[in-house]
Structure 1
Amino acid sequence: MKLEPLLFLILAGLPMACHAGDDAASVQREAVTRFLEAETRSLEGRVTIEISEAGLPGERRPCAAPEAFLAAGRRAWGRITVGLRCRSPLWTLYIPARIRVESDYLSAARPLGAGATITEADIRIEHGDIAAQPQGTLTRREQAVGRALRIAVSGGIALRTDQLQPVYAIARGQKVRVLSRGSNFEVSNEGEALAAAVEGQTVQVRLTSGKVVQGIARAAGIVEIPR
C-alpha cells in the first residue's frame, strides 16, 4: 500500500523570528522550498528537506520572483544542488540541499551466494533514509522474493536491483512475433531473437525471410518495431 509522504523542512541557522518575505533571503528560501516540495510530492515515506542557509546570499541578490531548478538528469534525492535564477536583474546561484526519505527497505538477512534464489527468510526489513542508500535499493518483498542473485551479497547490506539477475522477456534463439503498427494498420511477422532482452530493451530479430530487424522487446514473445 502506498504511503502518503510526510514532509518536514529543516533550515540550518534560520532565526525563529524570520518570516518568508522579510528579505531577499526569505524569498529565495521560499522559492527553493516550494520547488523541492513539488519535486518530492510523489515520494513514499517521511520526506525531510534541508536547505543550507549558507547558500542564500540574501540582500546581495534581490529578486522579486526567483525560479528554482535542477540540472538535467538530476532528481530531488539525497544531497543535491538546487539552481536559483532571476530574470530581472539577471543572475543564477546554486544552493546546497539534502532530501531525506525515511522508509522501509530490504537488506540481506545473511550472506547469500551468487545464483541463490532469494526467499522470505533471506530478507530483513530495515527502516531509515533510503536516499542515503545506493541507487536501486529495493523497498518491497515482491521485488526480491523468487529472484536469483547475479553476485554474492554480504549479510546486512541493502538489496539492490543491480544485484539481481535480469528477468528476460525474450530469450536468445526464441521464436518471436514481430509487430509493426501504424495509425491504420498492423503488420505481423515471425522471426528468431538474436539475443536475450528484458522488457523495453532493444533486440535484433532475424525474420523468416532472412532480413534482420531491430525492435523493442515486449512480454509474451513480442518484438515491437517503433513507428
Structure 2
Amino acid sequence: MLKFSAIPTLLAAGLLAGAACAAPAGAALPAQDPAQVADVVERFLAGQAGSYPGAAHIIVEAPRIDRQAACDQLQAFLPSGQRLRSRMTVGVRCMAPEAWTSYVQANLSIQGFYYVANHNIQAGDTLTLSDLTGREGDLLRLNGGVVFDPSQAIGYIAAQRIPAGGIVKSSALRNPDSIQRGQKVRTEARGPGFVATGEGQAMQGGAPGTQIQVKSSSGQIVSGTVLNSNTVQVMM
C-alpha cells in the first residue's frame, strides 16, 4: 500500500518530467544556414538568366543572416522595379515555419552574342545577313532592345540610320508588313456572308496584329487590326 508521505515526492517528480517534455516547444528554432540561402539565390538568378541567349556567371555574396530561424520554404524574388543587371540585390523570404525576409547581394554576367552594323545602313534599307556582324560580350551591359538573333533583323527595314559598328536594336527596325502613320491603307470589314472594303489613312503606325486607328474616306475614325503592310481589318 502506498504511504501518504510518498505522494509529494511523486507529484514533484511528475511536474519535473512534464516540464522537461514541454521545454522543447518553447525553445528557439535552429538558425538558418546561410549557404542554403545563397544556393536559393543562385538557382533563382540562373532561372532568370535563362531568357537570355548566353552563358550566365553568378557570384552570390555571403548572406548576412542575423539569427533568422531555419526555414522549410525559402522563396527568392526581385525587389519591385528591379531587372537583371551586373550588380543587384535579390530578396529571400521565408514562407514557413516562421516568416522573415532578407536581402542578398550578387554579381551577374551573361556572355553571349549581339549584332552590329558592318557598314552604314540607311533608313529604308532592308537588312540582310551581310549587313550584320556578330560580337560577343556581357549582354547585361547593353541597353534594352538589342538584337541577339539575326532572324530578328534579317528582312526588316531600317527605320533610321544605323552607323557602321552601331549596335542593332529592335527600336531601329520596322517589320516589312507593318503600316506607317499617314500611309494610305485598304480597310476590310467582314461579317456573316459579306466582305466590305474601302480606303483610308492610317492615323497610327503598327505591326501585324496591333490595333490602330484609320480615318476613312468619309472622314470617320475607325479602329482596326493591322493584317499586312497595306490592309487593316476594321472592327464591326
Q: TM-score, normalised by structure 1?
A: 0.67
Residue 11 of structure 1: aligned partner: none
Shift of 1:121: 3.8
Residue 62 of structure 1: aligned partner: 69
Shift of 1:126: 0.9
**Equivalent position amino acid for 1:46 in 2:** A
**Equivalent position amino acid for 2:150 in 1:** R
Residue 82 of structure 1: aligned partner: 90
**Equivalent position amino acid for 1:134 in 2:** N
Shift of 1:174: 0.5
Residue 144 of structure 2: aligned partner: 135
* CA contact 2:179–2:202 (8 Å) conserved in 1: no
| CA distances 1:193-219 after superposition (whole Å, capped 9, x unpaired) | 533322233211356886533243234
* CA contact 1:103–1:128 (8 Å) conserved in 2: yes
d(CA) in 1 for partners of 2:193 and 2:110? 45
Pair 1:32 & 2:41 matched: yes
Report % sequence identity: 24
Residue 186 of structure 2: aligned partner: 175
Pair 1:223 & 2:233 matched: yes
Shift of 1:129: 1.9
Larger mean Cα displacement after TM superposition, 35-44 or 23-32: 35-44
* CA contact 1:67–1:85 (8 Å) conserved in 2: yes
d(CA) in 2 for partners of 1:94 and 1:187? 61
Pair 1:101 & 2:110 matched: yes
- Alignment match of 1:204 (pick from 205, 213, 231): 213
d(CA) in 2 for partners of 1:83 and 1:127? 30
* CA contact 1:45–1:103 (8 Å) conserved in 2: yes
5+ long unaligned stretches in structure 1: 1-21
**Equivalent position amino acid for 2:188 in 1:** R
Question: What are the equivalent positions in structure 2 for 1:43-62 lying under 5 Å apart?
Answer: 43-53=52-62, 56-62=63-69
d(CA) in 2 for partners of 1:224 and 1:85? 49
**Equivalent position amino acid for 1:176 in 2:** T
Residue 17 of structure 1: aligned partner: none
Q: Which has the larger radius of gyration?
A: 2
Q: How many residues align?
A: 199
d(CA) in 1 for partners of 2:127 and 2:215? 35
**Equivalent position amino acid for 2:76 in 1:** A
d(CA) in 2 for partners of 1:92 and 1:178? 55
Shift of 1:68: 0.9
The secondary structure found in structure 2 opposite 1:103 is strand
The secondary structure found in structure 2 opposite 1:68 is strand
d(CA) in 2 for partners of 1:187 and 1:100? 56
Residue 214 of structure 1: aligned partner: 223
| CA distances 1:172-196 after superposition (whole Å, capped 9, x unpaired) | 331122458xxxx898654535333
* CA contact 2:212–2:226 (8 Å) conserved in 1: yes
Shift of 1:29: 1.2
The secondary structure found in structure 2 opposite 1:213 is strand
5+ long unaligned stretches in structure 2: 1-30
* CA contact 1:133–1:158 (8 Å) conserved in 2: no
**Equivalent position amino acid for 1:60 in 2:** R
**Structure (1/2) with the larger helix percentage:** 2
The secondary structure found in structure 1 opposite 2:102 is strand
